């Protein structure tokens, strides 16, 4: 499977195309593997839904189910194993990070779960962090479902309707690259800002 070429991956999957989409979407968050083409794969699948013989409603439903189940799994991984990783003297998994995450979710509530769904890498680690926080499972389930369904709807509908534009339909690979760059942009900006803030703190 060529994960860097969503078109080839989808076309090569044949009758298993929906299964491939669901598995990759699930692994991205459920098994904490952030470097998978979740956004581009779903968008491209919707863009090529007609030639792939994939009904749009099936794609929306399958994507939403995989996204929700993936986050549920990530949540339970964080709830089950997370507390063992965090220690006050740890170099990476410091207890204060867990406390800060819990304060963040307490302040912004379920909205943070919905917004994080649209940011690659971030959406992979949010569920286990929430699992380690004090957010009740019922609250996580509700907002996780809202986020998963919204993400599936936005990407599939965008891909499906943009597929009718010749410029988009004839440049699927380029569009996929653009989506990946735009999606990961906020993560890169946040990382750079964090590094600069850390350097300023050290110099002060």
Q: What is the per-residue pLDDT for 191?
A: 46
Structure tokens that stand for 146 in this block: 């809202």
Q: Tell whether the torsion through CA atoms of 84, 87, 92 and 97 is positive or negative.
A: positive
Does any domain span residue 1? no
123 close to 29: Cβ distance less than 8 angstroms: yes
Q: What is the per-residue pLDDT for 55?
A: 94
Helix (H) or strand (E) holding 13: helix 6-13
48 Cβ contact list (under 8 Å, min separation 6): 7, 10, 11, 54, 163, 172
The model carries a pTM of 0.74
Does any domain span residue 132? yes
Does any domain span residue 84? yes
119 phi/psi in degrees, rounded to 5: -115, 110
Q: Look at the chain and report how many structural domains it folds into.
A: 1
- Please tell me the distance from the alpha carbon of residue 157 to that of residue 172, in angstroms, as a whole number: 15
- Please tell me the distance from the alpha carbon of residue 125 to that of residue 98, in angstroms, as a whole number: 12
Q: Per-residue pLDDT for the chain (204 aa), expressed as one digit of tens each? A: 566 677 888 888 889 999 999 999 999 888 877 677 788 889 889 988 888 999 999 999 999 999 999 999 989 888 888 767 666 766 655 666 566 666 666 666 777 788 778 777 777 778 888 888 777 888 889 999 999 999 999 889 888 887 666 666 555 556 655 655 555 555 455 545 555 655 555 555
158 close to 49: Cβ distance less than 8 angstroms: no
- Please tell me the distance from the alpha carbon of residue 25 to that of residue 75, in angstroms, as a whole number: 15
**Segments forming the whole domain that contains residue 178:** 6-203
């Amino acid at each position: 499977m060529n994960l860097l070429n969503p078109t080839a991956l989808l076309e090569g999957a044949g009758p298993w195309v929906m299964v491939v989409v669901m598995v990759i979407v699930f692994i991205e968050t459920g098994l904490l593997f952030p470097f998978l083409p979740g956004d581009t794969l779903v968008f491209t699948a919707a863009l090529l839904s007609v030639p792939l013989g994939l009904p749009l409603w099936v794609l929306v439903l399958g994507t939403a189910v995989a996204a929700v189940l993936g986050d549920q799994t990530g949540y339970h991984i964080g709830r089950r194993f997370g507390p063992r990783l965090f220690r006050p003297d740890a170099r990476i998994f410091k207890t204060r990070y867990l406390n800060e995450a819990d304060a963040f979710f307490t302040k912004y509530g379920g909205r943070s779960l919905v917004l994080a769904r649209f940011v690659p890498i971030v959406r992979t680690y949010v569920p286990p962090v929430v699992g380690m926080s004090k957010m009740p499972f019922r609250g996580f389930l509700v907002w996780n479902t809202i986020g998963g369904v919204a993400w599936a709807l936005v990407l599939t509908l965008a891909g499906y309707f943009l597929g009718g534009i010749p410029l988009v339909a004839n440049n699927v690979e380029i569009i996929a690259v653009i989506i990946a760059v735009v999606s990961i942009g906020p993560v890169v900006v946040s990382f750079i800002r964090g590094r600069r803030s850390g350097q300023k703190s050290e110099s002060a």
